[in-house]
A and B are shown apart, each in its own frame.
Chain A
Amino acid sequence: MSADRLSRTFARCAAQHRAALVTFVTAGDPDLTTSPLVLDALVRGGADIVEIGMPFTDPMADGPAIQAGNIRALGGGVTLVRLLAMVADFRTRDADTPLVLMGYFNPILAYGPDKFARDAHAAGLDGCIVVDLPPEEDAELATALTGHGLHLIRLATPTTDVRRLPAIVSGASGFLYYVAVAGITGAGSATADDIGVAVARIKASTDMPVAVGFGIRTPAAAAAVARVADAVVVGSAIVELIGAAHTARANDLPGQVETFVASLATAVRAARLDDAA
């Protein structure tokens, strides 16, 4: 079953005594031809899990970098149908790397939650993170996803208090995504100490792996989070690199992505070894 890809990946990383590296890119960014090459580059660079962003005209939780990525991708003609085709195509080359869709609810609602879950499963997607769908509103999508063996990955944030955490954890699956900064993507960053405290608090109420994202832009920052979390998510820094390489008409855009992701992967893999040394 496709949903096992996530648990297999987390188990493998745990066995290697390291955090997983999760990388985010926007589907169709910078265009439909280059985007699949970028997905492959992420995996070659050492990403353990790939988050694939569904572009939206009104990305309310995203900062300038991912907003720009959305505009490039929508301008290039990406749709949810094309995103799923891209996922299915990726699966012909890579049967193992978990693919998680991240986006806003309206494109999924327009597609139809149940039809989406069925087609997403058939394409080889493993789960979904829907930014503007808190537990209070996610029942319809949760039922559809679970029915087709996909994970609904929920978010916890610095404002999530002890009263809310149990409601978030119950019904979540795959992993829990801790948003380290109260803010938009690509802006600000939390200290590793604060993140460590928050992850410990979440871990006290769930056995699920905890991934940490928002504000992690460099190999050093990724390594610091990798010491305290099960997975480290890097998004805006990669999307910015894609934007810059696209603007510069660089002909090795996927290569640049691979090099940067490799530097993150090396840092994440070495993080806990440094501790032991």
Chain B
Amino acid sequence: MASAASLRAGPDARGHFGAYGGRYVAETLMPLILDLETAYRAAQADPAFAAEFDWLMTHYVGRPSPMYFAEALTKHLGGAKIYFKRDELNHTGAHKINNCIGQILLAKRMGKTRIIAETGAGQHGVATATVAARFGLPCTIYMGARDVERQSPNVFRMKLLGAEVRPVESGSKTLKDAMNEALRDWVTNVHDTFYIIGTAAGPHPYPELVRDFQSVIGREAKAQIMEAEGRLPDVLCAAIGGGSNAIGLFHPFLDDESVRMVGVEAAGHGLHTAEHAASLVGGVDGVLHGNKTRLLQDADGQIAEAHSISAGLDYPGIGPEHAWLHSIGRVEYQSATDDEALRAFQLLCRTEGIIPALEPAHAIAAVTRFAPQMRADEIIVANLCGRGDKDIFTVAAALGVAL
């Protein structure tokens, strides 16, 4: 249990991380969110809940994911030792499944009989469809119509798993609009439906419980790097859209002062343009989707459309705990452009024989910038949070290759 002085003690009883977080939802949803919190507290106190979660992590997801020393990339960059936390090797190919297992176990405890979710790149949709199939619950996935187009392999995967995929035609037709539509579904089907939110954002207690379920990444990483190197890493690095893989890696290390942490936002066509998804570096405080956080918006409080080559990072907000960690300076937030991510994507393919998702390619892009500046005895752990099979069409198009 973290002490009050710990950076791991948040959120407070009302779901706030400093000035961020909270529960900004329609009154219709408030009683549900309070119920969810009660159910989560009961689950936390029940050893059987943790036991079932751990069993599924081991036997269904395939955890622990390896901690891999990327020797070839380390040599290529000529600086710090680079390790990858290989969450792309999980069942369904990304870290998203960790959170989905936790939430569907909660849904079951609460007696809910129907699952809904939003998805951007489709990884969270696939993970949700997977656990819904495994636990025998009907499942509806909301996905922006633009994302349905650029992530067609994942759309088909969700359908194979028995989910209904509803393309969302409103707004920018991407992740934020999918989340709006999922909230509209939830407010209409309050009695039987459980909403599995995919990132560490939304109304309290979602940011907290998603973080807790994803913290399996950081707990394993800590034990694995201690075993491999006998000490803590110097730098942790992870890509950030909503921020669930990053908070999962960072959170168990927050009180380890020697560990520097770098979150990498999507800079799209560049921070000097209007086409990026860097809500910390380029956004201001605001309220959307149930929480106060940093948002891309205009002077009138209208939400701007984000842009990233990676559909999973294409969101104008960010989880409230990241907004807080940014405000107190504990985590350093950088960004990588579409072009930098594409170069890192190809570099990893050629040097390590790993095709990463475009999301972690942003983290790798940042690593290529700072690893060469570091000493050979320093250690970087980067989160390889998803595999790139889903992105080959996007990458081919960006490279001008006809498939």
Contacts and interface: CB of A to CB of B under 8 A. Distances in A.
B176 A136 contact: no
Contacts of B295: 106
Interface string B332-362: 0000000000000000000000000000000
Interface residues of B, number: 36
Contact of A109 (B27, B177, B287): B287
Nearest to B298: A110
A144 B176 CA distance: 30
A107 interface: yes
B27 A168 contact: yes
Contacts of A2: none
The binding surface of chain A is classed by DSSP as loop
B30 A136 contact: yes
Nearest to B183: A60
Contacts of A156: 27
Nearest to A179: B28
Contacts of A184: 184, 187-188
B26 A74 contact: no
Given A67-B170, A109-B301, A134 B25 contact: yes
Contacts of A157: 26-28
Given A136-B23, A159-B32, A58 B184 contact: no
Interface in B176-206: 176-177, 180, 183-184, 187-188, 190
Contact of B301 (A63, A108, A154, A183): A108
A182 B190 contact: yes
Interface in B1-39: 14, 22-32
Contact of A137 (B22, B32, B300): B22
Interface in A144-182: 154-161, 164, 168, 179, 182
Contacts of A179: 27-28
A136 B14 contact: yes
Nearest to A187: B188
B286 A106 contact: yes
A183 B170 contact: no
A73 to B, nearest CB: 11
B290 interface: yes
A80 interface: yes
A133 interface: yes
Q: How large is the interface on A (under 10, 10 to 19, 20 to 34, 35 or more residues)?
A: 35 or more
A61 B183 CA distance: 8
A134 B288 CA distance: 14
Contact of B26 (A61, A106, A109, A187): A61
Contact of B25 (A109, A132, A164): A132
Contacts of A187: 188
Among A58, A107, A157: residue with most chain B CB under 10 A: A58
Given A132-B26, A159-B32, A58 B188 contact: no
Contacts of B289: 58, 60
Nearest to B286: A106
Contacts of A111: 300-301
Nearest to B24: A132
Among B23, B31, B180, B302: residue with most chain A CB under 10 A: B302
Given A60-B183, A137-B22, A183 B30 contact: no
B23 A107 contact: no
A188 interface: yes
Contacts of B300: 79-81, 107, 110-111
B297 interface: yes
A132 B32 contact: no
Interface string B266-298: 000000000000000000111111100001010
B31 A164 contact: yes
B3 to A, nearest CB: 26
Contacts of A79: 300
B111 interface: no
A105 B23 CA distance: 12
A155 B27 contact: yes
A16 B177 CA distance: 45
Nearest to B182: A60
A109 B183 CA distance: 21
Given A58-B180, A80-B301, A132-B24, A188 B188 contact: yes
A58 B187 contact: no
Contacts of A182: 28, 187-188, 190
A106 B297 contact: yes
A131 interface: yes
Nearest to A188: B188
Nearest to B184: A184
Given A67-B170, A136-B14, A57 B187 contact: no
A63 B185 CA distance: 10
A56 interface: yes
A155 B31 contact: no
Contacts of B27: 134, 154-157, 159-160, 168, 179
B303 interface: yes
B48 interface: no
B22 A136 contact: yes
Given A58-B176, A67-B170, A183-B188, A107 B26 contact: no
Nearest to A68: B170
A116 to B, nearest CB: 10
Given A160-B27, A188-B188, A58 B288 contact: yes
B171 interface: yes
A110 B304 CA distance: 13
B299 interface: yes
Contacts of B31: 159-161, 164
Given A60-B183, A136-B22, A107 B170 contact: no
Contacts of A67: 170
B28 A60 contact: no
15 contacts: A56-B303, A60-B184, A60-B289, A80-B300, A106-B288, A107-B300, A110-B297, A132-B25, A132-B26, A134-B24, A157-B28, A160-B27, A161-B31, A182-B28, A188-B188
Interface of A: 56-63, 67, 74, 79-81, 104-111, 131-134, 136-137, 154-161, 164, 168, 179, 182-184, 187-188
Which 8 A-B pairs give the minimum distances between C-beta atoms?
A: A110-B301, A107-B301, A183-B188, A157-B28, A106-B301, A155-B27, A57-B303, A79-B300
